[in-house]
């Protein structure tokens, strides 16, 4: 079974599974396809993270996050007119200041599928990228999400190098259902399929990318691409009353997602009725406690003053749980800036499971599209600060803070669960909703995802710090939450502001149950 926020990506994964491929191979295919068919949400010019479980083996992960360029220093930005109190621009060539790591993640996963995990993978990379190449060359229908986001960001982005030529039609946003082609990107994917993923960092493609980036004014150079390697990591683990929950290490906020669930475990969340005002209140208050810790400590692990293990200790989580008042909301301030991402999950016939996330940060990333390779480059590095006293101050080769965090759970009853979402600050909150509704309250994955959701603070398309709830919640819920001190803002009934979630659960019998988000253009594919 595969789940993705665009149905063509889940179908690409399913095709590989039908041909005998394993979950890792299927996810590479899905990752390539989603980068083509959902271009406003992700790109091969971004980063990715993987959490992987193979039965009988330790849970593992891949960190395919690119670091800041060697030239990307506070002095470099000062020379370009930006002082310590200024923010790095969200858009343009000087926002493209970190290496795009996702292709290295594909290569590492493909290698693991063949020998690293002993899964017997035999599918060549050229086959895994076939669908993506075809969709880039011959086109795909524009989704409503792509049309809508392009129009919202058109004025902001149309002046960026390559944006209009790639994403607009005669200066206007593409119409839903029209055919969207990316022939230059098709050529780049063909080159990767032929020469391997390493070509992106140390081959002919790397030389081209370095020249393109330098020519438009990015601080990235060939040396930055050459020094990049995806890393195999041990994911973070939270021992929970229902089993072990895994998520990605810093610089992602995986520890935040785990902290929220750990705090709620301390509070015995199940004493409240699912989707009640009390349930939502406690989930939101646990989120606030975890976000406060995040903003104090979570950054590139080389610079962290507290280890994730300390932040996930039972004693520390218990101390945070004690800060939560059962009937009064903690006043809330500014959150992180918006972000865009995709999450996908695959579980194969042998129980191998992959939770995967891929992103270019904001909608269309930095907004630049390289002229020959056709790659839309990420702006993840604008999360750095130019203030030398900031937790995430910019340094050459430093990794940027990531909202990305793919989740996986091994429950005590023998079930395996992969789940996740896009959406910046909304990611830990939607993960909380999906996990608690399924694992704690026993809901079916589709029911858990389709039910109305909430979002505290900011995420993509939103800049307010209110508690946003979908309008399908009863008016009584909104009134009750408001009475507790939450500043309530109503969203549409199915509003993609709360993310594009997905989930797959494998029972001990081998039966697979999945859920996809009706707020997306996605689907669950299985056989």
CATH of the domain at 450: 1.10.246.130
Q: Compute the radius of gyration of the chain from its Cα atoms.
A: 21
Whether 134 and 189 map to the same domain: the answer is: yes
Whether 49 and 140 map to the same domain: the answer is: yes
Reference 352, options 4, 107, 27; nearest CA is 27
For the chain, give the mean pLDDT.
95
Whether 64 and 195 map to the same domain: the answer is: yes
DSSP of 77-145, one letter per residue?
HHHTT--TTSBPPSSSGGG--B---HHHHHHHHHHIIIIIS-------HHHHTHHHHHHHHH-EEPPHH
Residue 108 lies in a domain: yes
Q: 443 pLDDT exceeds 80? A: yes
Which residue range(s) make up the domain with 15? 2-232+339-383
Residue 413 lies in a domain: no
Note the pLDDT of residue 464: 73
How many independent structural domains does the chain possess? Answer: 2
> Among the three residues 360, 383, 406, which one is the final residue of a domain in this structure?
383
Whether 55 and 137 map to the same domain: the answer is: yes
Q: How far apart are CA 248 and CA 256, in angstroms?
A: 10
Once rounded to an integer, what is the mean pLDDT over residues 229-239?
Answer: 97
Residue 241 lies in a domain: no
Q: Each residue of 263-318: pLDDT tens digit?
A: 999 999 999 999 999 999 999 999 999 999 999 999 999 999 999 999 999 999 99
Residue 77 lies in a domain: yes
Q: Each residue of 99-136: pLDDT tens digit?
A: 999 999 999 999 999 887 778 899 999 999 999 999 99
Note the pLDDT of residue 335: 53
Whether 468 and 327 map to the same domain: the answer is: yes
From residue 304, alpha-carbon distances to 4, 253, 441 in Å are 33, 13, 35
Residue 327 lies in a domain: yes
Q: What are 305's strand-pairing partners? A: none
Confidence of residue 191 (pLDDT cuts 50, 70, 90): very high
Contacts of 461 (CB under 8 A, 6+ apart): 152, 338, 496, 497
Structure tokens at 147: 């049309």
Whether 142 and 94 map to the same domain: the answer is: yes
**Is the separation of the CB atoms in 190 and 184 below 8 Å?**
no
Whether 216 and 279 map to the same domain: the answer is: no
> Among the three residues 383, 405, 437, which one is the final residue of a domain in this structure?
383
> Among the three residues 326, 351, 383, which one is the final residue of a domain in this structure?
383
Residue 526 lies in a domain: no
Residue 391 lies in a domain: no
Whether 208 and 259 map to the same domain: the answer is: no
How many angstroms from the chain centroid is the CA of residue 317?
Answer: 25
Whether 435 and 513 map to the same domain: the answer is: yes
Residue 409 lies in a domain: no
Q: Each residue of 11-30: pLDDT tens digit?
A: 999 999 999 999 999 999 99
Whether 134 and 115 map to the same domain: the answer is: yes
Q: Each residue of 325-338: pLDDT tens digit?
A: 999 999 987 555 55
Q: Is 341 a catalytic residue?
A: yes
Whether 48 and 127 map to the same domain: the answer is: yes
Whether 492 and 363 map to the same domain: the answer is: no
Q: Which of 341, 421, 430, 459 is catalytic?
A: 341
């Amino acid at each position: 079974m595969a789940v993705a926020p665009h149905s063509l990506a889940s179908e690409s994964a399913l095709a590989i599974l039908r041909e005998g491929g394993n979950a890792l191979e299927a996810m590479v295919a899905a990752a390539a396809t989603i980068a083509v068919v959902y271009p406003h949400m992700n790109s091969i010019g971004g980063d990715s993270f993987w959490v992987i479980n193979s039965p009988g083996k330790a849970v593992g992960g891949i960190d395919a996050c690119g670091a800041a360029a060697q030239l990307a220093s506070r002095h470099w930005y000062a020379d370009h007119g930006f002082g310590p109190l200024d923010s790095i621009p969200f858009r343009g060539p000087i926002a493209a200041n970190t290496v795009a790591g996702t292709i290295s993640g594909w290569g590492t996963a493909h290698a693991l599928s063949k020998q690293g995990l002993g899964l017997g993978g035999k599918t060549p990379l050229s086959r895994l990228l076939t669908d993506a190449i075809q969709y880039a060359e011959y086109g795909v229908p524009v989704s409503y999400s792509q049309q809508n986001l392009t129009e919202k960001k058109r004025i902001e982005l149309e002046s960026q190098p390559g944006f209009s030529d790639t994403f607009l039609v005669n200066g206007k946003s593409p119409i839903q259902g029209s055919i969207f082609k990316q022939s230059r990107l098709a050529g780049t994917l063909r080159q990767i399929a032929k020469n391997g993923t390493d070509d992106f960092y140390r081959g002919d493609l790397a030389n081209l990318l370095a020249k393109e980036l330098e020519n438009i004014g990015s601080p990235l150079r060939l040396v930055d691409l050459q020094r990049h390697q995806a890393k195999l990591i041990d994911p973070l683990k939270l021992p929970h009353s229902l089993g072990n929950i895994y998520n990605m290490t810093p610089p992602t906020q995986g520890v935040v997602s785990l902290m929220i669930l750990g705090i709620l475990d301390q509070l015995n969340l199940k004493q409240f009725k699912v989707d009640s005002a009390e349930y939502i209140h406690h989930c939101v208050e646990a989120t606030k406690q975890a976000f406060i810790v995040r903003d104090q400590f979570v950054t590139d692990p080389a610079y962290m003053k507290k280890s994730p293990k300390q932040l996930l200790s039972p004693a520390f989580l218990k101390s945070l749980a004690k800060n939560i008042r059962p009937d009064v909301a903690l006043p809330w301030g500014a959150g992180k800036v918006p972000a865009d991402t995709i999450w996908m999950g695959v579980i194969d016939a042998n129980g191998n499971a992959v939770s995967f996330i891929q992103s270019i940060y904001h909608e269309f990333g930095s907004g630049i599209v390289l002229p020959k390779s056709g790659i839309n480059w990420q702006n993840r590095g604008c999360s750095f600060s130019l203030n030398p006293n900031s937790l995430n101050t910019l340094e050459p080769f430093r990794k940027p803070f990531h909202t990305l965090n793919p989740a996986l759970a091994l429950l005590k009853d023998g079930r395996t669960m992969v789940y996740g979402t896009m959406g910046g600050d909304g990611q830990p909150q939607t993960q909380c909703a999906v996990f608690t509704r399924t694992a704690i309250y026993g809901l079916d994955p589709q029911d858990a995802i389709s039910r109305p959701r909430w979002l505290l603070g900011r995420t993509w398309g939103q800049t307010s710090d209110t508690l946003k709830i979908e309008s399908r919640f009863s008016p009584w819920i909104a009134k009750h939450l408001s009475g507790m001190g939450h500043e309530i803002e109503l969203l549409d009934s199915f509003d993609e502001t709360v993310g594009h979630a997905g989930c797959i659960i494998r029972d001990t019998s081998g039966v697979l149950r999945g859920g996809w988000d009706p707020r997306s253009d996605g689907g669950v594919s299985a056989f």
